[in-house]
Amino acid sequence: MILLSIETSCDDTAISVLKCKGGIKNASFRVLANASNSQIKIHAKYGGVFPSLAKREHIENLPILLEEVLKKAGFGDQVAKHAWRPGHQINLIAVTYGPGLEPSLWAGITLAKELGEKWKIPIMPVNHMEGHILSVFGKDKGKFALKKIKTPALSLLVSGGHTELVLSKKWMQYEVIGKTLDDAAGEAYDKVARMLGLEYPGGPKISKLAEIYRKNKTLHEGNIAQRDGASIAIRQQANMRVESGQCFAFSFPRPMIHSKNLDFSFSGLKTAVLYAIKKIGKLDENKKREIALEFENAVIETLVYKTKKALESHKAKTLIIGGGVASNTHLRREMKKLKNKNLSVYFPKKDLSGDNSIMIGIAGYLRFLKNKKKGTAPESIKATGNLSFK
Ligand code: KG4
Ligand code: ZN
């Protein structure tokens, strides 16, 4: 079956055409075409996504991307140009209906409904977060195949809007067992980046700075030596912390690490960074790197700690990490350490960690199969900004 998938939940407009085969346990996918448009440059000056602007951009870009994927998928120029005409081989449309920014979601849903009506084919609404979980099935050269996932499976979803631990006692059934009480991990990265004068989205930029500091031993050791020689007053003022032979100028909290539940909170950490920056006054490149490193360590240690706790208490056999923050190098490195003979750990390919329509296509096909190959009545598909698993 050939499927067209649409993703517009935030600031990425994306459309894919996938060839889908097999049943719910052995499905495989081939990407026939994939096109996307990132609005990062447009939103960067606002330091975050501006919803009405995002919607306008989606509406403008969707028809362009549609023509592009139909062409790339090999349906021919005429079909691509007259995409609205019925009569090509697409059998199903998958579209994100939540969670996300409602004006943005509506842009994709409206297109899906129009195409569904014109082409007379079913539509499958998709939960964006399920898309992030299922994004881990990528193989090389645009091919995807379901792996045999052992349950219970735990997914850590970390993006700009979400930080959740999701338990699947059975495959494709979800229960949220922990979530952030305030900012999402990606959001905290973006806000701290802004404090450091880095552009939106800040995650990759902070991560890069932290990684330089982590990797560059000479720079790091030089700094420690310099600080070790500093007077006690300066060291106290700088609020230094010494940990396993390393000396940090900053010490940020590991939020809720001692709480009994599996919830997260990142807004206090963000405030701690703000105070530290205020105290320093003028930030040079080295200070920025140091803050980035300690902030990243605080976020990732917390994510790893809570994930470990959830894995143990639910005796999970599989760990899946998904969402934009899943492309973080240090997070991947630390989570891989949890792998053992009783636990498999899966990440999406780096280019599928962030928002994309391929993961929406995979989720759409599997949901269609689960729904006995029936779509959803178009009139009941509504943008649901706060959609959750339960
Ligand atoms: O899943 P995603 O593309 O969009 C949402 O659904 O939110 O996630 C975007 C988030 C942004 O907050 C971005 O800063 C963060 O993912 N991000 C990262 C990295 N790459 C993207 N955070 C930390 N390290 C990264 N390498
Ligand atoms: Zn996302």
Averaged pLDDT for residues 103-127: 96
Which pLDDT belongs to residue 281? 86
For the chain, percent of residues with pLDDT exceeding 90: 73
For the chain, percent of residues with pLDDT exceeding 70: 90
The preferred substitution site among 189, 211, 269 for testing ligand 1, maximizing ligand atoms within 8 Å of CB, is 189
The preferred substitution site among 325, 349, 357 for testing ligand 1, maximizing ligand atoms within 8 Å of CB, is 325
Mean pLDDT, the chain, integer: 89
pLDDT tens, position by position, 27-80:
999 999 999 998 888 888 777 788 888 999 999 999 999 999 999 998 877 777
Q: How many Å separate Cα 169 from the centre of its chain?
A: 22
Query: Tokens standing for 282?
Result: 């003028």
pTM: 0.90
Which comes out higher in pLDDT, residue 242 or 118? 118
pLDDT tens, position by position, 302-341:
999 999 999 999 999 999 999 999 999 999 999 999 999 9
Which pLDDT belongs to residue 213? 85
Q: Is residue 228 over pLDDT 50?
A: no
Which pLDDT belongs to residue 229? 45
Ligand of minimum distance to the alpha carbon of 359:
2
Residue 104 Cα to ligand 2 middle (Å): 13
Bridge-partner residues for 13, per DSSP? Answer: 37
Which pLDDT belongs to residue 230? 43
By DSSP bridging, strand 344-346 and strand 318-322 are: parallel
Q: Is residue 386 over pLDDT 80?
A: yes
| Least confident interval from 166-180, 242-256, 271-285 | 242-256
pLDDT bucket at 248, cuts 50 / 70 / 90: low
Q: Is residue 199 over pLDDT 70?
A: yes
Residue 18 Cα to ligand 2 middle (Å): 20
For the chain, what's the residue count? Answer: 390
Which pLDDT belongs to residue 227? 46
pLDDT tens, position by position, 133-175:
999 998 777 888 888 899 999 999 999 999 999 999 999 999 9
**Ligand 1 nearest atom to the CA of residue 296, by list position:** 23
Averaged pLDDT for residues 284-301: 93
**Ligand 1 nearest atom to the CA of residue 193, by list position:** 14
Residue 99 Cα to ligand 2 middle (Å): 9
Q: How many CB atoms lie within 10 A of CB 49?
A: 21
pLDDT bucket at 217, cuts 50 / 70 / 90: low
Q: What residue ranges line ligand 1, CB within 6 angstroms? A: 10, 159-161, 186-187, 189-190, 201-204, 207, 323-325, 327-328, 354-355
Contacts of residue 235, defined as CB under 8 A and 6 or more positions apart, other chains included, come to 227
Which pLDDT belongs to residue 235? 41
Which pLDDT belongs to residue 86? 63
Residue 363 Cα to ligand 2 middle (Å): 13
Q: Is residue 240 over pLDDT 50?
A: no
